[in-house]
Chain A
């Protein structure tokens, strides 16, 4: 994802924008495999609070990450209206639970603004840049840190709650 920011000015990239609560976010469309409706997930024991569980994606076991909870916002109570964005992160497929998918937007890489220096760790971890579109602000999300790595697995849940504070 960091590549997007580093690309030459003038390059155009396509992004998929989605909504969590009252905020808008977007990810590189190349990382998105498909978009599907919410199906009940099988919860995993001893999983961080932002891992909703796993679902069956045509025979593969797909973990679902509640992106709102992951970024320290309120835990989502998923309903039929919620959406799963199936993304590919490194060699793994991960489903991101979001409120709704908005749009496909095409922007020039040059128009991506640097994230302002905030004290918030969540912003530093996940937000790689900001886009101004028709008076709205859309945050460009980096997917690299969405899944908990093995090192922080034990404290995964705590990390999320600390970030929320």
Chain B
């Protein structure tokens, strides 16, 4: 990949992050959070996308993000009130922006009508309310007039967290009180405020990348009081002027407490290299040149910290969280210079938030991580083999070798856990697509929907996340399309017009649980049953419990939607969802209360690389049964086992009869089934909640095994899901419970009406249905 393409890939990765931040910020604002930092973050996200897009000459993206940015800037400046209507517009604009980014990345086309309509709406928003003659009304620099003004900071939004303000005020106060005595470093100043001279001469590249000098200068104004002078001396005569060149420069005197050079540089961060920038502090002996800026930043930073510590008297507490005395002593000072303190507090808060939000990360090729996981898997196996060999040698458990091996085992496990954690990602990456989905479906169905998301930080393996997206999308569509009522129906039922769809993720006993719930009408059980009967899925006289009726929706060929709508019900139903969840080693459950809504609960393994298994022996072979499918194990009594038909057996477990399947025979390891009383039965639950008792000869124990593919070097084997390598170095096969339960696989669907030999041989058959046959 050539360097530019590589940078472009990174740009688009960052765009995705910015888009997520944008949407998250807008949603927080919609939720009533008026923290100015959120508005800033939203603005920064769009601005970053615009900046990058400019560098790559992505015209459409630049145009749209520019309009968007303009509107956001007015909101940031308080010229536009961010009411609910505005936020809805902004959220839709964020969707369009996402479309633009994706179109730019994948070479697709954006819905032009939608995009331009949105751009017009944004422009209307900006011009309608923000007619304050702001600098950002045009693309070029030649049509705006920049008046050197001192910006009045008193109208800055009040800081939400006044303890930070107090801390900052205490810093200022410390300076005023005893700054001269305490601060003995060469860079100390004897006044609380300091003045910076900033000279800023944009070059043509700055404008080409869609940056605006005006915005940058205004940004500068947020740091403190600023006086800007235009330097038009470079302007040539009109006939010599190239309209696309840059001739103007500005010099600004920035005055305010606690301003650091790094903060100033941050303002110009995006245009570095595209402008001549000179930042000098008043009174500083040698003018700080652009290149040597790092040293100066270091000095100032340290001094600020020292002052903060001394002023607050309790240094550690001051750094971590401001204490009450510090606040009290600072209050008087804070009132003396309220505006400045507030502004400084905002600044500090922004910086703190930035630090918090961006922990140190690196981007790593997924392949490398996977290779590492493979290697660690082999390490685990090797370690287990070594332990077994040592045990075979007859060494005492207390011997130093055995103890060393125990330590090794601990370390190996820790390495395995840590490596798995690298692949783990918060479910947020899937969840963040859903607000948009919900908005679109709500618009299509004319329903009012609020999406509540919870536990987005819950982490799970990347492969699980990738494969969660489709089933979750489908279920959310269903929840809105089928679950929620129209606003009128809801009002009639005495519910709020706005329906709520809740999406929550949490960790529970080594698995991730995801719940999708709605407060809609719940499952219409008589209708579900009627449909199932009509479609021949169950026999009319079948007597089903509520739970079993609810589970009918998971059967193949079942769709409750009376009309096939655009949103859901296009042939793929909940059976597909169930199957994809099960292919991940997960389970899905539904609980529903008429009139109050339904809840789908997914339970999934945290990773697909390892599996908790029950190691069993069958006909001399060692097999692994996935623990998630096993409900219980039991020793069959002769009186509980009954013959049914010519060659099938069932076993009575607490008054229900489930088919008894000999694993050895169904896998073809043996032709004669030994008496069930000599073995152990595993009661398992397969697809659709159907149960069976699997006969094995003996249980060796439970173990976490690393899943190895059989297909890589061979091909799929019926009845076998995958392979693993046990402690003795031999390969053991992992049972495919569902395949084993269905001895003669055939098309599911109508099989329940006539179960063959009492066998539970169809997809999605609830337990009691099997007894009908």
Interface residues of A (CB under 8 A from B): 40-47, 53-56, 58-63, 92-94, 147-148, 150, 153
Contacts and interface: CB of A to CB of B under 8 A. Distances in A.
A147 B667 CA distance: 21
Contacts of B621: 42-43
Given A54-B731, A59-B377, A45 B725 contact: no
Contact of A92 (B377, B712, B720, B730): B712
Contact of B708 (A44, A61, A147): A61
List 5 tightest A-B contacts by C-beta distance, closest first. Answer: A45-B667, A59-B378, A42-B731, A63-B714, A61-B723
Interface centre among A43, A93, A94 (most CB of B within 10 A): A43
A41 B620 CA distance: 12
Given A43-B621, A45-B668, A54-B710, A59 B381 contact: yes
A58 B717 contact: no
Nearest to B381: A59
Interface centre among A61, A148, A150 (most CB of B within 10 A): A61
Interface string B723-752: 101000111110000000000000000000
B123 interface: no
Interface centre among B712, B723, B729, B731 (most CB of A within 10 A): B731
Nearest to B718: A46
Nearest to A59: B378
B278 to A, nearest CB: 60
A53 B710 CA distance: 11
Contacts of A56: 381, 725, 729-731
Contact of B725 (A53, A59, A93): A59
Nearest to A88: B713
B64 to A, nearest CB: 45
B715 interface: yes
Nearest to A45: B667
A47 B729 CA distance: 22
B668 A61 contact: no
B374 interface: yes
A93 B732 contact: no
A151 to B, nearest CB: 11
A55 B668 contact: no
Interface string B351-392: 000000000000000000000001001100100000000000
Given A44-B720, A45-B669, A153 B715 contact: yes
Nearest to A92: B713
Interface centre among A44, A53, A93, A153 (most CB of B within 10 A): A44
B57 interface: no
Contact of A46 (B668, B723, B732): B668
A150 B667 CA distance: 19
Contact of A42 (B381, B667, B712, B733): B733
B318 to A, nearest CB: 54
B663 to A, nearest CB: 10
A86 to B, nearest CB: 10
Nearest to A57: B713
B530 interface: no
Contact of A59 (B374, B622, B733): B374
Given A45-B718, A92-B712, 15 more contacts: A45-B668, A45-B719, A45-B733, A46-B667, A46-B668, A53-B731, A55-B730, A55-B731, A59-B708, A61-B714, A61-B723, A62-B713, A63-B714, A92-B714, A147-B714
Interface centre among B708, B713, B717 (most CB of A within 10 A): B713
Contacts of B730: 40, 42, 55-56
A78 to B, nearest CB: 15
B116 interface: no
B633 interface: no
Interface of B: 374, 377-378, 381, 621-622, 667-669, 708-710, 712-715, 717-720, 723, 725, 729-733
Contacts of A59: 374, 377-378, 381, 708, 725
A44 B733 contact: yes
A60 B708 contact: yes
Contacts of A58: 378
A45 B715 contact: no
A46 B731 contact: no
14 contacts: A42-B622, A42-B723, A45-B669, A46-B667, A46-B717, A55-B731, A59-B377, A59-B725, A61-B712, A61-B713, A61-B714, A61-B723, A61-B731, A92-B713
Contacts of B378: 58-59
A62 B725 CA distance: 11
B733 A93 contact: no
Given A42-B621, A54-B723, A60 B712 contact: yes
Given A43-B621, A44-B733, A59-B378, A54 B712 contact: no
A131 to B, nearest CB: 29
Contacts of A47: 717
Contacts of A147: 714-715
A152 to B, nearest CB: 11
Contacts of A63: 713-714
A147 B583 CA distance: 27
Contacts of B622: 42
Nearest to A43: B621
A60 B667 contact: no
A94 B713 contact: yes
Given A44-B733, A46-B668, A60 B720 contact: no
Contacts of B731: 41-42, 53-56, 61
A84 to B, nearest CB: 13
A44 B722 CA distance: 11
A138 B668 CA distance: 38
A92 B659 CA distance: 39
Nearest to A149: B715
Nearest to A42: B731
A153 B723 CA distance: 19
B129 to A, nearest CB: 63
Nearest to B385: A56
Contacts of B713: 60-63, 92-94
Contacts of B669: 43, 45
A45 B720 contact: yes
A124 B70 CA distance: 75
A47 B667 CA distance: 10
B715 A150 contact: yes
Contacts of A93: 713
A73 B377 CA distance: 39
A61 B710 contact: yes
Contacts of A46: 667-668, 717-719
Nearest to A94: B713
A142 B719 CA distance: 31
A63 B377 CA distance: 20
A45 B374 CA distance: 26
Contacts of B733: 42, 44-45
A40 B726 CA distance: 14
B600 to A, nearest CB: 35
A43 to B, nearest CB: 7
A44 to B, nearest CB: 5
Nearest to B740: A45
B31 to A, nearest CB: 49
A154 to B, nearest CB: 10
A41 B723 CA distance: 13
Nearest to A150: B715
Contacts of A148: 715
A2 to B, nearest CB: 23
A94 B731 CA distance: 15
A47 B669 CA distance: 11
Contacts of A92: 712-714
B377 A54 contact: no
A58 B731 CA distance: 11
